[in-house]
Chains A and B, each alone.
Chain A
Amino acid sequence: MNDEIRRQFPFFQQPNHGRELAYLDSAASAQKPQVVLDALERLYARDYANIHRGVYELSARATRAHEGARKTVARFLGARNSSEIIFVRGATEAINLLANTIGRQRLGYGDEILITHMEHHANIVPWQMLCEQTGATLRVTEINDQGELDLDSYAALLGPRTRIVSATHVSNALGTINPLGEMIRLAHERDALFVVDGAQAVPHLPVDVRELDCDFYVFSGHKLYGPTGIGVLYGKQELLAEMPPYQGGGDMIASVTFAQTTYAEPPARFEAGTPDIAGAVGLAAAIDFVEGIGFDAIQAHDAELLAYGTKRLLEIPNLRLVGTAREKVAVLSFVTDIHPHDLATVLDKQGVAVRAGHHCAQPLMERFGVAATTRASLCVFNNKADLDALADGLLEARRIFHP
């Protein structure tokens, strides 16, 4: 199955240091399959015009493509209605949108926002900014040494002043899958809103927002084999309907006079200006691609690579895995007695692309007592040969640094 999938990514047709590049950085951004490139080309070559305004047939076609993409995303997430899908630039913008709309609306002095110790900076900084503006307090749920969320800590921190809980579905630096069902149930018992950062989850796990019962779910297209610059905010219809606009401009209004403007209903209310039409269409093609493979196959492949990669890495002397949760996706974060940046340079020269650094999760790095880790993140196009190349590269690094 895997070779057939890999062949759909033109990226791997270019030789790199004498072999196909072992691209192990999909948690940062994934390569794109041909079907996504084709969808972008088809839109720009044949179906392109601005949307929602032209009376002419071409504009109607572009609008259909764009709104069709919204339906695809709604189906992908299990949303009730495609009007619950807001197109944004990415997960980061989605969280900023929430902080600036419902966050400002709902939070006051002394209220609390609860996050976790494993959040990406994108799910920390917007809430910190909101706290500065409102006088609310940011609380942080602890995690254990395996990188799993401490549900007792979480339950204890959920209080009468907790207005918003925002947690990642899957940790970008550790791969941990969080027990969202239980977390959301507890938050709702306290009448807190629940925001899920799904950026790392959607490429690996089936997501059903109605089953989760989260209030908001956000993700980025580019980690799901889609284009950069497009992302999704899902929100429950009744919540979106009450929220004030995020940005003002064209396309988000019902009527405008100099005295007063009334705003459009969601999703248009949150999509001022000409959107990333091609991005949405490309994202829909990426979702079709992922659904064509199917999450049963994706999860089986993920589990196989995770087990094999873990085994190969543990053969390397003085290597410690950072993030060993029982429930995790195929992310292998580790430290050795060689600095991650030196490792990444040596690996790069051998055709292995990994991420070295703090993974935009500095508080998490501090929790594990490291400044940085090396991270190999895998997805549908990776194979065991990529992991062998990683292990060989790590041994070569040892030959250089510890001859």
Chain B
Amino acid sequence: MNDLEELYQELILDHGRNPRNHRALEDCNRAECTKADGANPLCGDRLTVYLKLSDGRVDDLSFVGSGCAIFTASASMMTESLRGKTEEEAKALLGAFLHTLTDESGSPPPEELGKLAALTGVREFPMRVKCASLAWRTVEAAFGNNANTASTE
């Protein structure tokens, strides 16, 4: 596979075309449900992430927003991979994923990433790392319950 095929492999293209959990969560004002906005000011991509926790686990996770295939696929795969995880597990995976995206050592992606490893092709395209990380930075803000705004800048 060349870099381009690695970047745009079938799994990514599929999630890019048909993003999963691409919807708002109704009635997301109660304590167990938070939302956060994310934006990449340089390219204009923006999204809202909805996070619903129940008994300390990710009960539902969804997003609204549109952007490039990498951005959409990353957000879609994120909603699938974090669902059902405890807050600690989710944060650990989130940290591992974001670390891998910017890892310049050339080492293969850690096994715990599972199919998310498909997204690590962006490492060969430094200008596109922000596309893959935006949704994850935004869910990080949602977990943090802080200013609820994430930015890749």
Is B67's CB under 8 angstroms from A341's CB? yes
- For residue A357, give the distance in angstroms from its CB to the closest CB of chain B: 5
On whether A357 and B69 interact (CB within 8 A), knowing A345-B125, A345-B128, A349-B3, the answer reads no
Judge if B114 is at the interface, Cβ distance under 8 Å: no
With an 8 Å Cβ cutoff, the count of chain A residues facing the other chain is 17
**A384, CB-defined interface residue at 8 Å:** no
For A356, the chain B residues whose CB sits under 8 A away are: 43
| CB pair A341 B43 closer than 8 Å | yes
Residue B96 CB within 8 A of the other chain: no
Verify B69–A358 contact, CB threshold 8 A: no
Range, interface on chain B: 20 to 34
* Chain B: minimal CB distance from A393 (Å): 11
A21 to chain B, nearest CB (A): 16
Is A358 a contact of B7 with CB atoms below 8 Å?
no
* Chain B hits for A345, CB < 8 A: 4, 7, 125, 127-128
Contact A372 B43 (CB under 8 A): yes
A340 within 8 A of B: yes
- B59 at the A interface (CB under 8 A): no
Which residue of the partner chain B has the closest CB to A344? Answer: B127
When each residue 359-403 of chain A gets 1 if its CB lies under 8 Å from chain B and 0 otherwise, what string results? 000100100000110000000000000000000000000001100
- Residues 46-86 (chain B) with a chain A CB within 8 angstroms: 66-71
A-B CB contact pairs (8 Å), 16 listed:
A338-B69, A339-B68, A339-B69, A340-B68, A342-B8, A345-B4, A345-B7, A345-B127, A349-B4, A362-B44, A371-B44, A371-B45, A371-B66, A372-B44, A401-B8, A401-B13
Q: How far is the CA of A372 from the CA of B67 in the complex (A)?
A: 9
Chain B nearest CB, measured from A402 CB (Å): 9
The reply to whether the CB of B131 lies closer than 8 angstroms to some CB of chain A is yes
CA distance A345 to B132 in the complex (A): 14
A346 beta carbon closer than 8 Å to chain B:
yes
CA distance A371 to B13 in the complex (A): 20
Residues of chain B within 8 A (CB-CB) of A372 are 43-44
Closest to A349 in B: B4
Cβ-based interface call for B42 (8 A):
yes
Contact flags (1/0) for A280-312 with B, using CB distance below 8 Å? 000000000000000000000000000000000
Chain B positions within 8 Å of A401 at CB level: 8, 13, 69
CA distance A356 to B125 in the complex (A): 15
Question: How far is the CB of A14 from the nearest CB of chain B, in Å?
Answer: 20
Least distance between A333 CB and chain B CB atoms (Å): 14
A400-B68 Cα distance, complex, nearest whole Å? 14
Known: A357-B44, A400-B8. A341 touches B131 (CB 8 A): yes
**CA of A349 to CA of B43, assembled, Å:** 20
Q: Report the nearest B residue to A357, measured CB to CB.
A: B43
7 tightest A-B contacts by CB? Answer: A339-B68, A341-B68, A358-B44, A342-B69, A342-B68, A371-B44, A349-B4
User: With A and B bound together, what is the CA distance between A281 and B106 in angstroms?
Assistant: 45
Distance from B66 Cβ to chain A, minimum over Cβ atoms (Å):
7
Separation in Å of the B45 CB from the closest CB of chain A?
7
A322, B71: Cα distance in complex, Å? 23
